């Protein structure tokens, strides 16, 4: 089974393979399960020609990884970024399979990407690229095949273009081809807050089991995009004192607490949280090591490493970002007694509400935001309890291993009953 080649900058594909391997070993599954889950069932690379504003044709490289569809059609975002790589896309599709299995959603994992710098594209060029992506992949996409969603540097508008282009290919409206759409063409209420709301829900549940009084807890949030800023507001409403937040420009710290509305308004007005009145300047690196009860890394991958993990002072970490903790850092944190809520659990609220959007599209019946939030709450609480019980059965404090075990077991059962593999013989039942 694959191992990472570097502690502080691991290849995400190798990390995903390693964690799946750990779960398969813990569950004593047939080796065929690992062989099936350690790579995507399908990986497609496409060339996308786009006519640029200056008249020339630029050819962009796009990818789509469809990891495993034993539980249902594959599901996952599309990112537009200069650093998109095949291994990154493959890893993200694998994590999506596990998120969906953990939340008991009828999806497998998918992920896509285009190597580009969207900041250098005009709106017309961006539209051409979005439409070209689905044109190139239309044969392997569809509401019962593979359903994309927004990701890094893609948004509701990109999803609207994709939905429209696919509808033109089909010659009928096909809004269920994507999630994360504008409300007017079938988007779901509650989607913008879903990732943060799901994370705060599992943080609240975890605080209960470790006897942490959430009403008197302190928190630190690294990353102040949509997920981080909404998490700040939701924690504040629970009584948590958020003492530090940061974005790509730097961080702010006030041990007395930061008002989420005031910080959000300052960021809207200035473009950054830095310079917020009454707060001390702090670096992203130092922010992670502040004394606090709850730490939410909501920015980039590989932020908590073997180098800084011994100095992390939080009792509870909720991974809003994908892969913010390296494998070696995670081992150190678990050994030190820090409870880590892994990303496939903590940030699964987004795909959960995407599932709700897909269901609403297929049934042509739409729920209120209150209904959405209630359903999300039930799913996230159920998932946390399954992970906590799995950890107890496995005799481990490592919730990442427990979460992977629950998810891998569910996919393995689906593959078994479908006849893809023989009986696993595992004694563990999630």
256 secondary structure, DSSP code: T
Exposure string of 365-394, with b = 16+ CB inside 10 Å and e = fewer, is: ebbeeeebbebbeebbeebbebbbebbeeb
Q: Which two tokens stand for residue 202?
A: 């599992």
User: Tokens representing 194?
Assistant: 């879903």
Cα–Cα distances (Å) from 419 to 68, 74, 172, 295, 424, in that order, read 14, 19, 35, 43, 12
DSSP state of 119: G
Q: Is 111 a catalytic residue?
A: yes
Sequence-distant (6+) residues with CB within 8 A of 205 are: 380, 381, 384, 385
Contact partners, residue 219, CB within 8 Å, separation at least 6: 235, 240, 241, 242, 243, 292, 293, 294, 295, 296
| Secondary structure of residue 420 in the 3-state scheme | coil
Query: Residues near 416 by Cβ (< 8 Å), separated by ≥ 6?
Result: 422, 423, 424
Q: Exposed, middle or buried by CB within 10 Å (0-12, 13-18, 19+), for 9?
A: exposed
Element containing residue 61 per DSSP (H, E): strand 57-68
DSSP-derived secondary structure letter, 289: T
**Per-position DSSP letters for 166-224, written without gaps between them:** HHHHHTS--GGG-SS--GGGT--TTTTTHHHHHHHHHHHHHHHHTT--GGG-EEEEE--
What distance lies between CA 413 and its chain's CA centroid?
Answer: 24
Catalytic member of 111, 181, 189, 267: 111
Q: Which residues are catalytic?
A: 111
């Amino acid at each position: 089974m694959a191992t990472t080649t570097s502690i502080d900058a691991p290849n995400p594909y190798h990390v995903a393979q390693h964690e799946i391997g750990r779960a398969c070993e813990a569950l004593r599954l047939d080796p065929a399960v690992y062989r099936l889950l350690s790579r995507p069932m399908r990986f497609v690379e496409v060339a996308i020609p786009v006519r640029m504003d200056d008249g020339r044709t630029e050819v962009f490289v796009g990818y789509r990884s469809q990891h495993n569809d034993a539980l249902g059609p594959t599901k996952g975002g599309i990112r537009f970024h200069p650093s998109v790589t095949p291994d990154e896309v493959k890893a993200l599709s694998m994590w999506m399979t596990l998120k969906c299995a953990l939340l008991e959603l009828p999806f497998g994992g998918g992920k896509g990407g285009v190597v580009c710098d969207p900041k250098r594209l005009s709106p017309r060029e961006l539209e051409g690229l979005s439409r070209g992506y689905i044109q190139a992949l239309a044969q392997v996409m569809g509401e019962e095949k593979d359903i994309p969603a927004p990701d890094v540097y893609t948004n509701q508008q990109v999803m609207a273009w994709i939905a429209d282009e696919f509808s033109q290919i089909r010659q009928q409206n096909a809004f269920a081809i994507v999630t994360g759409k504008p409300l007017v063409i079938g988007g779901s209420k509650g989607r913008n807050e879903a990732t943060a709301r799901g994370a705060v829900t599992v943080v609240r549940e975890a605080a209960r089991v470790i006897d942490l009084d959430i009403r008197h807890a302190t928190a630190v949030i690294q990353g102040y995009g949509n997920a981080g800023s909404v998490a700040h507001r939701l924690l504040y409403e629970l009584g948590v004192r958020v003492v530090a937040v940061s974005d790509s420009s730097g961080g702010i710290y006030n041990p007395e607490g930061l008002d989420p509305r005031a910080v959000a308004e300052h960021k809207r007005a200035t473009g950054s949280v830095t310079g917020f009145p009454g707060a001390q300047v702090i670096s992203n690196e130092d922010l992670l090591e502040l004394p606090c009860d709850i730490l939410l890394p909501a920015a980039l991958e590989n932020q908590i490493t073997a180098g800084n993990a011994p100095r992390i002072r939080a009792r509870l970490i909720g991974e809003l970002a994908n892969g913010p903790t390296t494998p070696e850092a995670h081992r150190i944190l678990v050994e030190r007694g820090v409870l880590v809520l892994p990303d496939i659990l903590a940030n699964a609220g987004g795909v959960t509400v995407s599932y709700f959007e897909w269901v609403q599209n297929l049934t042509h019946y739409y729920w209120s935001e209150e209904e959405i939030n209630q359903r999300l709450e039930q799913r996230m609480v159920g998932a946390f309890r399954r992970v906590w019980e799995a950890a107890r059965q496995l005799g481990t404090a490592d919730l990442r291993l427990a979460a992977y075990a629950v998810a891998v077991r569910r996919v393995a059962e689906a593959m078994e009953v479908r006849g893809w593999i023989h009986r696993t013989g595992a004694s563990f039942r999630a």
